[in-house]
Amino acid sequence: MRLLTKIFEFISKRNVIQVTDRLKISNSAKISGCKLFGNIEISENVKIAGGVQIHSESKKVTIGRYSAINGPNTDIHCYINSVRIGAFTSIARNVNIQEFNHNYTGISTYLINKNIFGKSKSLDIHSKGEIIIGNDVWIGAQCVILSGAKIGNGAIIAANSVVVGDIPAYAIAAGTPAKVLKFRFDRETIDILESMAWWEWSIEKIIENEDLFNLKKINSCSLNSYLQND
pLDDT tens-digit map of 56-75: 988 899 999 999 999 999 99
| 163 and 200 co-located in one domain | no
Q: Residue 193: pLDDT above 90? A: yes
| 116 and 225 co-located in one domain | no
- CATH number, domain at 143? 2.160.10.10
| 114 and 201 co-located in one domain | no
User: Of 27, 28, 32, whose CA–CA distance to 16 is shortest?
Assistant: 32
Please tell me the predicted confidence (pLDDT) of residue 2.
59
Q: Residue 10: pLDDT above 60? A: no
Please tell me the predicted confidence (pLDDT) of residue 181.
98
| 115 and 219 co-located in one domain | no
Residue 206 lies in a domain: yes
Spatial distance between the Cα atoms of 217 and 210, rounded to a whole number of angstroms: 15
Residue 108 lies in a domain: yes
Average pLDDT over residues 199-219: 94
| 132 and 217 co-located in one domain | no
| 175 and 198 co-located in one domain | no
| 146 and 90 co-located in one domain | yes
Out of 40-54, 169-183, 211-225, least confident range: 211-225
Average pLDDT over residues 46-53: 95
**Where residue 19 falls among pLDDT bands split at 50, 70, 90?**
low
Residue 102 lies in a domain: yes
Residue 130 lies in a domain: yes
| 71 and 116 co-located in one domain | yes
**Where residue 227 falls among pLDDT bands split at 50, 70, 90?**
confident
Residue 5 lies in a domain: no
| 118 and 207 co-located in one domain | no
Q: Residue 1: pLDDT above 60? A: no
Query: For the chain, what is the domain count?
Result: 2
Residue 109 lies in a domain: yes
Spatial distance between the Cα atoms of 223 and 113, rounded to a whole number of angstroms: 56
Please tell me the predicted confidence (pLDDT) of residue 126.
94
Cβ-in-10-Å burial (0-12, 13-18, 19+) of 71 comes to: buried
Domain that holds residue 192: 186-229
| 207 and 125 co-located in one domain | no
| 164 and 207 co-located in one domain | no
Residue 211 lies in a domain: yes
List 55, 77, 102, 126, catalytic entry? 102
Q: Is 126 labeled as catalytic in the residue annotation?
A: no
| 109 and 220 co-located in one domain | no
User: Of 23, 83, 41, 31, whose CA–CA distance to 59 is shortest?
Assistant: 83
Out of 2-6, 135-139, 142-146, 179-183, least confident range: 2-6
Residue 87 lies in a domain: yes
